[in-house]
Structure 1
Amino acid sequence: MRYFEDFPVGETAAFGSRTLTRSEIVEFAGEYDPQPFHTDAERACESRYDGLIASGLHTFAVTIRLMAEHLTADAAFVGAVGIDELRWPAPVRPGETLAVETRVARTEERSPRTGLVEFDVTVHGDDEPVLRMHPLLLFERREADPEV
């Protein structure tokens, strides 16, 4: 079990991979982001993207899933307090595989029971970064005061 104190500033990790298929891109977008460049291959070819692309929300959701499986699953994770600077520098296309890279940017004791860890997260597609963000995550402290 990893606690707040187990995330030193500067620590890096790389984990997970997930390939997005054409059908799941269209299905996700149909439910949550029904833009033609996410849902209709013909119309997507006429768009500035010159083809179907995944919704940024889909890329974000896959990122959160990979972080849950590889970063917070074996940690005393309390929850997130926010995300700063969420960016999508390049589109994700069908068949592209996503992988997550994290770096602990800073830590801050928040209370006798919790500490905040800010991560620099970059999600790489096949050729370039496709998502960048700075999630602010709370973890229990190892030496938490049970009376607080």
Structure 2
Amino acid sequence: MSSSSFTTTPDDRYFEDYIPGAVHEFGAIAVDEQEVIDFGERYVPLSYHTDKEAAKHSLYGGVIASGWHTAALMMRVYVENYLSSVANLGSPGGDELRWPKPVFPGDVLSVRATVLEARRSESRPDRGIVRTSIEVLNQKKDVVMSMKMVNFVLSRQSQGGR
């Protein structure tokens, strides 16, 4: 699934291309059971992330991805499709991180990014501040993760463009 109103590719995307209200959808990333278990064993060693048998008796009835694994999958799609590869200057952080539903092996995830705000920096006019609402959806269109993210993005004018 991919639906975007961007008229530029990530390697030619600048602050001016982030239009408030625009909704961009990207990705179809399959959640692999062994990757869920490996991530859990390495970073979040809880039985419902790492042990198929124990997870059957958990609240979830089976192995689920760690929320941090879901966030990492989201970040890959977000970086490759939404952020500019030439003008992104990083992020001071995100807010309102939620995991309202579990992610199971076999789920197919997509990312919906809605531009909430794009404003020119007052202290550094060569860049802007873009605030984005991010939702991760499974194949049933259930929201399995959401958050707000802020990014600093160079303006096209700062690079001598129009």
TM-score between the two structures when normalised by the length of structure 1: 0.93
Q: Say whether the 8 Å CA contact 1:75–1:139 is kept in structure 2.
A: no
Q: Say whether the 8 Å CA contact 2:13–2:84 is kept in structure 1.
A: no
Cα offset for 1:98? 0.5
1:84 maps to 95
Distance 1:116 1:2 in 2: 14
2:18 maps to 7
Which of 134, 144, 147 is 2:158 aligned to? 144
Report the residue type matching 2:132 in the other structure. Answer: F
The Cα RMSD (Å) is 1.5
Which of the pair is proportionally richer in strand?
A: 1
Cα offset for 1:11? 0.7
Report the residue type matching 2:134 in the other structure. Answer: V
Which of 110, 129, 134 is 2:143 aligned to? 129
1:93 maps to 104
Distance 2:156 2:16 in 1: 7
Per-residue CA deviations over 1:62-120 (Å, capped at 9, x if unaligned) read: 00000111112545111111101010010000110000111100122222222111111
Report the residue type matching 1:51 in the other structure. Answer: G
Distance 2:52 2:63 in 1: 5
Distance 1:107 1:2 in 2: 14
Trace 1:1-148 onto structure 2 (pairs within 5 A).
1-110=12-121, 111-127=124-140, 128-144=142-158
Distance 2:84 2:14 in 1: 12
TM-score between the two structures when normalised by the length of structure 2: 0.85
Gaps of 5+ in 2: 1-11
Number of positions where the alignment pairs a residue of Structure 1 with one of Structure 2:
146
Distance 2:73 2:91 in 1: 16
Q: Which portions of structure 1, spanning 4 or more consecutive aligned residues, are displaced by more than 3 angstroms? A: none
Percent identity among equivalent residues?
36
